[in-house]
Amino acid sequence: VLDHGFVRLVDSMGSDLSIVRAARVSYDAAWRAGEDDSGDARLIRYLWKNQHTTPFEAAVFQFEVKAPIFVLRQWHRHRTWSYSELSARYRPLPEEFYVPDVATIGTQSATSKQAREIGAVDDGERASRARDVGDYRYACSLAFEQYRRLLDRGWPRELARAVLPVATYSHMFAKVDLKNLLHFLSLRLHPHAQHEIRVYAEAIVALIKPIVPVSVGAWREGELAAARSEAP
Ligand SMILES: Cc1cc2nc3c(=O)[nH]c(=O)nc-3n(C[C@H](O)[C@H](O)[C@H](O)COP(=O)(O)OP(=O)(O)OC[C@H]3O[C@@H](n4cnc5c(N)ncnc54)[C@H](O)[C@@H]3O)c2cc1C
């Protein structure tokens, strides 16, 4: 993901069947040994559509993520995950920072204070953005040079790191249940979310879909219905 990042599924617990079992306890139904394709799928869609979401907490995922610090800042706003992150107090950080692709830089949005517009790039803009990327790369490299210099002069790692840019890559383990993961995906795949976190959210969808295909389908139907109702 991006130029040096990745997201990897470390571990998972449960499947669509776990959600069905958790829901069926409400009406004291018999233990479901195997999948009953149509009935189970209907139940999952019903639960999601009507926001009976607790059974979706029966499935849990743990991911390993390598991403720029500014992406992890946005990620960590999601309080229902458990995180363990690399500490630059323990070890010096390698010189690895995110450099955006020229085609995804875009321009500040004229209609949204937070967003950017990524459109088709003509040759002139491509050349000018490519020069800017050189300046961006230089600024990040210079910060790393200063960082190493401070470390060489005996500065403690926990202070020297303060000169590094938020484009620097960090690395974490992150665990979440399916209900809260789908909430994260709704927010971070939305067009208002930043491109650099959206690509991680897309990668996560691809990782969990084989494990909980019916739940992902039910969530997608909900997202499409919400998008249709938001459309002018
Ligand atoms: C496009 C976008 C732009 C954003 N811009 C900004 C910004 O400019 N500045 C900024 O500071 N943040 C910003 N955020 C972060 C945003 O405000 C939320 O903090 C973040 O999306 C996490 O959402 P959440 O609280 O629903 O999720 P989680 O923290 O994962 O929580 C999931 C759900 O659990 C419940 N919950 C969790 N904690 C509590 C609690 N303490 N009390 C009650 N219920 C709780 C809520 O129902 C919540 O929806 C932005 C987010 C997005 C997607």
Angle at the Cα of 116 from the Cα atoms of 79 and 189, rounded to 5 degrees: 40
Tell me the CA–centroid distance for residue 183 and ligand 1, in Å.
10
Atom number, ligand 1, closest to the C-alpha of residue 187? 53
Between 20-34, 163-177, 182-196, 208-222, the lowest mean confidence (pLDDT) is in 20-34
pLDDT of 110 reads 87
Tell me the CA–centroid distance for residue 70 and ligand 1, in Å.
16
pLDDT of 82 reads 98
Q: Is the pLDDT of residue 18 over 80?
A: yes
**91: exposed, middle or buried (Cβ count in 10 Å: 0-12, 13-18, 19+):** exposed
- pLDDT confidence band for 55 (50 / 70 / 90): very high
Q: What is the mean pLDDT of residues 198-204?
A: 98
pLDDT digits (tens, 9 = 90+) for 77-125: 999 999 999 999 999 999 999 999 998 999 888 888 888 888 877 888 8
Q: What is the mean pLDDT of the chain?
A: 94
Q: Is the pLDDT of residue 232 over 70?
A: no
Q: What is the pTM of this model?
A: 0.94
Q: Which helix (H) or strand (E) holds 104?
A: none
The catalytic residue among 89, 91, 188, 220 is: 188
Tell me the CA–centroid distance for residue 98 and ligand 1, in Å.
25
**Using a 6 Å CB cutoff, which residues line ligand 1?**
77-80, 180, 183, 187, 192-193
CA neighbor of 189 nearest in space, from 198, 199, 181: 198
Q: What is the mean pLDDT of residues 219-226?
A: 93
Atom number, ligand 1, closest to the C-alpha of residue 192? 1
Joined tokens for residue 14: 């449960």
Q: Is the pLDDT of residue 155 over 70?
A: yes
- pLDDT confidence band for 24 (50 / 70 / 90): confident
Phi, psi of 16 (to 5 degrees): -55, -35
Atom number, ligand 1, closest to the C-alpha of residue 79? 29
Would you tell me how many other CB atoms lie within 10 Å of the CB of residue 175? 17
Q: What is the mean pLDDT of residues 26-32?
A: 71
pLDDT of 11 reads 98
The answer to whether 24 is a known catalytic residue is no
